[in-house]
A and B are shown apart, each in its own frame.
Chain A
Amino acid sequence: MKNAVGREIPEEILQATGKEVFHGNHYYDGYEYRKDGPVTRCVIHSGGSKLVDNIHDALVKCGIRDGMTLGFHHHFREGDYVVNMVMEEVHRMGIRDITICASSLGKAHDPIVPYIEDGTITSIESSGVRGKIGEAISNGKLKGLAIMRSHGGRVRAIESGETRVDIAFIGTPTCDDYGNCRGIGGKSNCGVLSYAMVDADYADKVVAITDCLVPFPNFPAHISMTKVDYVVVVDEIGDPKKIATGAAKPTTDMRKLMMADYCTQFVVNTPYFRDGFSYQTGVGGASIASTISLAKIMKERNIRMRFGVGGLTKPMCDLLINGQVDCLLDTQDFDLDAVESVKDLRHFRISAGEYADPFNKGAVVNKLDFVILAALEVDVQFNCNVVVGSDGVITGAQGGHPDTAEGAKCTIVIVPLLQGRIPAICTDVTTVTTPGESIDVVITDYGIAINPRRQDLIEAMRNVDLPFRTIEELRDIAYSIAGEPERVQFGERIVGIIEGRDGTIMDVVRQIQPFAFAQTEGQS
């Protein structure tokens, strides 16, 4: 069945998942449902401690068995040790058919690939995967389906009971013996624990894993003891050098600076750029550069930002330090400056649900004026792909891309026209991860295209001196330089689905197959 972004979703996948095809962004607006709830084992006796000796004992106490779903967060990013540590023990115990439900997985988790191959792990639900896990999935090694969902979509899946997390493992930089977790302090400071909050609320069993046990009470707790069953102390939960790196040096790449400049010029000429506006941006070179140049214009025109959202980096936290923004709403910290900024009283930690969940009574993304995003590919319908690489292998994450793109009043995607030889603006993206109806503007080094759905923005830019073109013109320029690309050759088997925010199916990902040349006469 064809969905609202024109992708054919096979009947067998709809049956196997019980899901609907994507019907458009607002299909579920006003939908009512009763939230799922966790099985809770009451602790009434006074005193005591929730400490258990090791991960093995925690797994035994939690009743680990075949077929369970285990939850993990990705605040330790490429420095995470928790997923590998837990899965190694699960594997050692001979447990099989595990579903991993992680807020994201990266190259740090390459060591779990053998557990995918031997059937310890048979399903993966994540925002995305990188490295060897992506290769394993795209080569058909995962027995079940990989489900790729946005940060908001993961909260929705858990709250609605579509995904039941049996045991959540929450790596926490500090914790007391009764399970009060904080994202700050300790050796593995990650700032916030936003993505783990839904796990704490909805998983039947919650295990806090820390490498820095502190005296009770570890307050104010980011995750409360009232939700935690057991606490395990290990030597290291992560590699601090890879959890929060030093702030990225502002880019000197002229192409990125030019796109950043286009972006800032566009932003300041929209009707949304006024005192009290709101803003979110990513961590790419051009996004960061545009935040820096925007700050300059805000100062010149005496315009303040009401709130900034993220995924935070130094340039956003600088706005707070310089008094250019009233407050920051934080779901994740990308550098040491952002981690440090968490201590500021105007720097608020929010849960992934508050941030982006489409199935609650209203999330922060709905209040965004601007979001500045990147993409691997954008097609002439403005559909974006942020998950599947040009070789057909799953190699990225949806993150908050679909959530913020839908929520923000002005969604800007910055992308160089060519990524190597690959045209970033194309006729049809390999895989749709964010629907074109969410994308308002695409900024490239060869010009800017406004989505024709946004006649109001086209009107607002009528007398603005920027290189506006249609999205088709941008594609044609890309093809005239690089040649028209052929589509990636996939096999038949479906290895993953791209889920819309509301749980409908946006697209499917198929197993890759080796490239074969077209048959031509007289050539070997």
Chain B
Amino acid sequence: MEIRKPAMAGTLESSDCQVTVEEGNGRIDFSLESSVIHQYGNQIRKVVYETLSDLGVENVRIAIVDKGALDCTIRARVEAAVYRSAGQMDDLPWGGAIR
């Protein structure tokens, strides 16, 4: 998928995360600020890269401010941000690229 315009998903509430995606420089640029970075920084990065790979996103600047979100939440917020950025609000591939 192509990142067409900057988009955002999620909140800064406890147990949520806010994901921002923008057009990249030909690769994935990942940045993370997290209240649980010591415990789950590597895990969050893994989940984000997996989600982007499932969505077929290879060119993106993705920034996450995490307030202790679980993996399922992080995944959902990344997916939402990417689809918003692509302008796709209908016919979402539930069970396909979105797992």
Binding site for B on A (CB under 8 A): 390-392, 420-422, 481-483, 485-489, 515, 517-518, 523-524
Contact = CB atoms under 8 A, between A and B. Distances in A.
Contacts of A515: 37-38, 41
B41 A517 contact: yes
Contact of B39 (A488, A518, A523, A524): A488
Given A523-B49, A524-B27, A524-B30, A422 B42 contact: no
A360 to B, nearest CB: 40
Interface stretch (B2-10, B63-71, B80-88, B89-97): B63-71
B28 A524 contact: yes
Given A421-B69, A483-B71, 9 more contacts: A391-B38, A420-B14, A421-B15, A421-B68, A422-B36, A422-B68, A481-B70, A517-B41, A517-B42
Given A421-B15, A523-B45, A485 B29 contact: no
24 contacts: A391-B38, A392-B38, A420-B14, A421-B15, A421-B39, A421-B68, A422-B36, A422-B39, A422-B68, A481-B70, A483-B40, A485-B36, A486-B38, A486-B39, A486-B40, A486-B41, A486-B43, A488-B39, A515-B37, A517-B41, A517-B42, A517-B45, A524-B27, A524-B28
Nearest to B29: A524
A424 to B, nearest CB: 12
Contacts of B35: 390-391, 420
Interface in B27-79: 27-30, 35-43, 45, 49, 67-71
Nearest to B71: A483
Nearest to B69: A421
Closest 9 CB pairs of A and B: A485-B39, A420-B68, A421-B68, A488-B38, A515-B37, A518-B42, A421-B36, A483-B43, A515-B41
Contacts of A489: 38
A485 B40 contact: yes
A421 B35 CA distance: 9
A179 to B, nearest CB: 48
B15 A390 contact: no
Interface of B: 14-15, 27-30, 35-43, 45, 49, 67-71
A438 B41 CA distance: 33
Contacts of A518: 42
A488 B36 CA distance: 9
Contacts of A488: 38-39
A420 B37 CA distance: 13
A201 B68 CA distance: 47
Contacts of A486: 38-43
A228 to B, nearest CB: 46
What secondary structure prevails in chain B residues at the interface with A? mixed
Nearest to B49: A523
Contacts of B14: 420
B43 A390 contact: no
Nearest to A483: B43
B90 to A, nearest CB: 32
Contact of B70 (A390, A482, A523): A482
Q: Which of B27, B37, B43 has the most CB of A within 10 A?
A: B37
A256 to B, nearest CB: 16
A486 B45 CA distance: 13
Nearest to B66: A421
A420 B15 contact: yes
Contacts of B67: 420
Contact of A420 (B36, B49, B71): B36
A420 B42 CA distance: 17
Contacts of B27: 524
B72 to A, nearest CB: 10
Contacts of B70: 421, 481-483
Contacts of A487: 38
A515 B34 CA distance: 10
B42 A390 contact: no
A388 to B, nearest CB: 11
Contacts of B38: 390-392, 486-489, 515
A486 B37 CA distance: 9
Q: Which of B29, B36, B71 has the most CB of A within 10 A?
A: B36
A488 B39 CA distance: 6
Q: Which of B14, B39, B41, B69 has the most CB of A within 10 A?
A: B39
A421 B43 CA distance: 12
A523 B30 CA distance: 9
B70 to A, nearest CB: 6
A523 B42 CA distance: 11
Contacts of B43: 483, 486
A452 B37 CA distance: 33
Contacts of B37: 515
A460 B69 CA distance: 39
A52 B52 CA distance: 71
A517 B30 CA distance: 11
